[in-house]
Amino acid sequence: MDSRRDAALRKEIVMKKRSRIRLAVSAAAPLLVICLSVMIGHTAHASGSPRVVGITAKRFGFAPDQVTLKKGETVTLRLHSEDVTHGFFMRKLKIDTEIEPGHTTDVTITPDTAGSFTTICDHFCGANHGNMKMTIVVE
Amino acid sequence: MKIAGSSLGIGVLYTALPLPAAGKAGEMMRWLGKTTGEQMTPFSFVQLSDAHVGFHGPPDPLGTKAFERAVELVNGLPTAPDLVLFTGDLTHGTEEKDVHAERMKQFLEISKRMKVGKVMQVPGEHEAGKTAVSWPGVLLQDTDYALGERRVHYLVLDNVSRALPEIGRERLAWLKRDPARFPKTAPIVVFTHRPLFDMKPEWEWFTRDGDDVLSVLAPYDNVTVLYGHIHRDHEHEKGHTHHYAACWLIFAFPDPEKVADKKPIAFDKAQPFRNLGIRVVNESAASALTVRDVELTLGSIPGSTECSRS
């Protein structure tokens, strides 16, 4: 009887240990995924993912009002609005998007022509909207 | 068809008349006579643009004076035009809806003084933003009409109300259906606010899908596009389509080819209406439109004088 009880007890202990291990693995999984993702992200960035340039839109201008890129370099423009919906348009650089407040909008470009490109807000945002612009210089 | 413009001092008076039966215009007239039994009869219209009612500032402290002067001169025409059409920016935009409503009310009060057959409007971006006041029945959008038996076909294209400088897919679909009812020789006049071609995209002087519009109209022999928005003279021709910027009723903008920044031309107290003026359009014997610029003056309509525009 004692031996059966001991056997049952040992089995219960083993089951609890296994359960703890499963719980531990289960709890660690998201962290592991995050860690792996970060590692992969760092690796990818280190191996040449696009440079990120932040640009903020606010009536009636962009900050910064000028950015300089290199010809042939792939760059992500990370756009953010501090007030209302703005446009972001420069046909020659194939830029044509809207910037909604509360969201981040990424535009990835690889300029193949050097020059100075005036990029405008083309979404009417108020009486002085017509002068809302910035310059993208490609060297 | 002959489209002729007269010196008004404030806008453009266009007059369409049947030409002597010669050339393509003559063919069109004969076609109309044979197939419909109708002949074109003379008509005239005035285009006004960019009144910006409510704007007060250093580039032009005159407020609505030029607009009110325009109304007086229209009423002084020897023959009242059949139509006055505004090509946008009737008011100056503002974030305050009550203020914008007052501006629109003022615009309507002034425009109603004109003793003409019809007064119509196409919106400009200052009427089209999220803060714009809704005035049902005031803005003419997505529609077309003919002046009685006069066989010129009018298209009014709204390229501002989507808050972007574009016509939009739905309106383009309508545009593809509409002129198909007419022969390729039928004269078509397009009213719109922004230029339909890339005049200066960096200054927002363009329509994103303007090429699509012009492709639809390309098969037609006689297309005239009348627009506003740029506050300066400009004419452009591509294929059978002729584009004419309207005269304007508030500060002028400089030549984008000569200056980098889009800043209004400074107000000149000695010549308060300098750079506000008219466009005279005449058709030559070769059926091409010739354009002369006439500066705004305080003289009578016949006394308006031609000048060189800066």
On whether any CB of chain B is under 8 Å from the CB of A46, the answer is no
CB contact set of A8 (below 8 Å; sequence gap of 6+): none
Distances (CA, A) of A125 to A83, A88, B90, B118: 10, 12, 17, 32
Count contacts between A and B (CB, < 8 Å): 43
Mutate to test the interface with B, among A124, A129, A136 (most CBs of B within 10 A): A124
Cα–Cα–Cα angle for B202, B204, B205, rounded to 5 degrees: 105
Task: Report the 3 state secondary structure along chain B.
Answer: CEEEEEECCCCEEEEEECCCCCHHHHHHHHHHHHHHCCCCCCEEEEEECCCCECCCECCECCCCHHHHHHHHHHHCCCCCCCEEEEECCCECCCCCHHHHHHHHHHHHHHHCCCCCCEEEEECCHHHHCCCCCCCCCCCCCCEEECCCCCCCEEEEECCCCCCCCCCCHHHHHHHHHCHHHCCCCCCEEEEECCCCCCCEHHHCECCCCHHHHHHHHCCCCCEEEEECCCCCCCEEEECCEEEEECCCCCCCCCCCCCCCCCCCCCCCCCCCCCCCEEEEEEECCCCCEEEEEEECCCCCCCCCCECCCC
pLDDT at A2: 47
pLDDT beyond 80 at B206? yes
Do residue B129 and residue A125 have CB atoms under 8 angstroms apart?
A: yes
Low-confidence ranges of chain A (pLDDT < 70): 1-47
pLDDT above 90 for B200: yes
B274 band by pLDDT with thresholds 50, 70 and 90? low
Q: Provide CB contacts within 8 A for A97, sequence distance 6+.
A: A79, A87, A88, A89, A105, A107
For B124-155, the pLDDT digits (tens) are: 988 875 555 555 444 444 444 554 435 567 78
Give contacts of B208 with chain A, Cβ < 8 Å. Answer: 89, 96, 122
B208 close to A (CB below 8 A): yes
- ipTM reported for the complex surpasses 0.85: no
- Find the largest Cα–Cα distance for chain A: 91
**Chain A residue with the nearest C-alpha to that of B94:** A127
The pLDDT tens digits for B8-41 are 444 555 555 444 434 444 454 455 455 554 455 5
CB contact under 8 A, A118 and B202: yes
pLDDT for the residue numbered B35: 53
Subunit contact A122:B92, Cβ cutoff 8 A: no
Confidence of residue B42 (pLDDT cuts 50, 70, 90): low
**Span B55-76, average pLDDT:** 83
Under DSSP, the state recorded for A103 is S
Q: What is the pLDDT of residues B210-268, one digit of tens each?
A: 999 999 999 998 898 989 999 988 889 988 898 988 878 888 899 999 998 888 888 87
**In chain A, pLDDT over 90 holds for what percent of residues?**
59
Model confidence, pTM: 0.75
**A81 in contact with B at a CB cutoff of 8 Å?**
no
From the options 3.30.1360.200, 3.40.50.150, 3.60.21.10, 3.30.1950.10, give the CATH code of B2-295. 3.60.21.10
